[in-house]
Structure 1
Amino acid sequence: MEVILKEDVSNLGHRGDVVKVADGYGRNYLLPKKLALEATAANKSVVEQMKESAVRRSAKEKGEAEQLLTLLNDVALVFERRVGENEHLFGSVTSSDIAHQLEEKGFNIDRRKVQLDEPLKSVGEFHIPVKLHREVTAHIKVTVKGEEKAEA
């Protein structure tokens, strides 16, 4: 099945691309989520108009992402978690935790844009990439500390 992408889909293509996908993937995922259109003759003519507007929109989004990049590169997040032996955390710091703390600081970043391969499970300092645009990636300094134990 051939479809025309309405949005960027990772590992598939960019907005406006005509791609060949499995029938089930197209019918059950891309079309219902409005990520793609069926590649008919009428839709292909609409694609040209979509590509022109997509280029303008992408340039605007990239400009906004670059402005956000300058602000985000100065951000440092600190998480305190309980630790056990060998500085190993009880629980972990996830991309949702990072996105939530960024939101508290006034940045509206979707958790899926935080490029965390696996949750942070140890104490230390990490530089976490945040994909703001397909060409713009910010790096946020995340520090995980052990919680101070209250002496009784």
Structure 2
Amino acid sequence: MKLILNQDVYNLGEEGDVCEVARGYARNYLIPQGYAVLYNKQSIALFESRKAAIEKRKEEKRKASLSLKEKIQEQEIVLEVPSGDNGKLFGSVTNANVAEALKALGITVERKKIELPEHNIKALGTYTAKIKLYGDEFAELKVIIKSDKEESSAPVEKKVKTEAPAKDESEESSVVEESAPEAEAEKAEETEEQEQ
């Protein structure tokens, strides 16, 4: 069935485009939702009169997509997710996760316009996501997937190293010997209290 689009429809065309679609898709979705009208003499005349306004809107969308492309390509997203020791994630990172991270940076993009390698990410590393903008424009976004374990364990090690002054081996062994009897005495007291 031949239609003229009233507005941009993802994977179909832009406002004012003439397209051929399945009859059921046209009658059950596009026409009732107001996305398209039947292709006939009246609708052709209507769109010819609106052609200048449509072209102006298309040009504005192109300019907006170019500025959005620059803004996106300047960004780098780092996501910390749970993972195993072998570098595989528990679950996966999807385009919805990337869309949320972009939204936190003040950039709103529909998740269905974000294309990840192999549809989702299942391992740690650096990836490039493609974001479909207006027309044939794509923006590339660098997505870095890190383990949430690395971040939590690294500061602890740094604290231990910076807080602990250098000791001789003899001092360390005496500290261990002193603390062992104290620990045994505390355990004995706890067991006596529990028995009573």
Which band: TM-score by shorter chain?
Answer: 0.7 to 0.9
Between structure 1 and structure 2, the one with the greater Rg is 2
2:149 counterpart SS class: coil
Instruction: Summarize the Cα distance change of 1:22–1:63 in structure 2 as closer, same or farther, 3 Å threshold.
Output: same
Q: CA deviation at 1:56?
A: 1.0
2:23 corresponds to 1:26: no
Q: Which runs of 5+ in 2 are unaligned?
A: 154-196
Instruction: Summarize the Cα distance change of 1:33–1:69 in structure 2 as closer, same or farther, 3 Å threshold.
Output: same
TM-score (norm 2): 0.70
| Runs of 4 or more consecutive aligned structure 1 residues displaced over 6 Å after TM superposition | none
Question: Looking at both structures, which has the greater relative contact order when contacts are Cα pairs under 8 Å and sequence separation is at least 6?
Answer: 1
Q: Which runs of 5+ in 1 are unaligned?
A: none
Which amino acid in the other structure matches residue 77 of structure 1?
Answer: I
Partner Cα distance (1:115, 1:50) in 2: 34
TM-score (norm 1): 0.88
Aligned to 2:9: 9
Q: CA deviation at 1:10?
A: 4.5
Partner Cα distance (2:16, 2:10) in 1: 14
Q: CA deviation at 1:85?
A: 5.0
Aligned to 1:142: 143
Q: CA deviation at 1:91?
A: 1.2
Instruction: Give the total of aligned pairs.
Output: 151
2:15 counterpart SS class: coil
Q: Deviations over 1:16-40 (max 9, x none)?
A: 1222322111101211222211122
Q: CA deviation at 1:50?
A: 3.5
Is contact 1:130-1:138 (8 Å) kept? yes
Partner Cα distance (2:23, 2:63) in 1: 36
Residues 1-152 of structure 1: pairs in structure 2 closer than 5 A: 1-116=1-116, 117-148=118-149
Instruction: Summarize the Cα distance change of 1:50–1:90 in structure 2 as closer, same or farther, 3 Å threshold.
Output: farther
Partner Cα distance (2:71, 2:14) in 1: 27
**Between Structure 1 and Structure 2, which shows a larger proportion of helix residues?**
2
Partner Cα distance (1:79, 1:111) in 2: 16
Q: CA deviation at 1:64?
A: 1.2
**Between Structure 1 and Structure 2, which shows a larger proportion of strand residues?**
1
Is contact 1:62-1:135 (8 Å) kept? no
Which amino acid in the other structure matches residue 138 of structure 1?
Answer: A
Is contact 1:15-1:51 (8 Å) kept? no
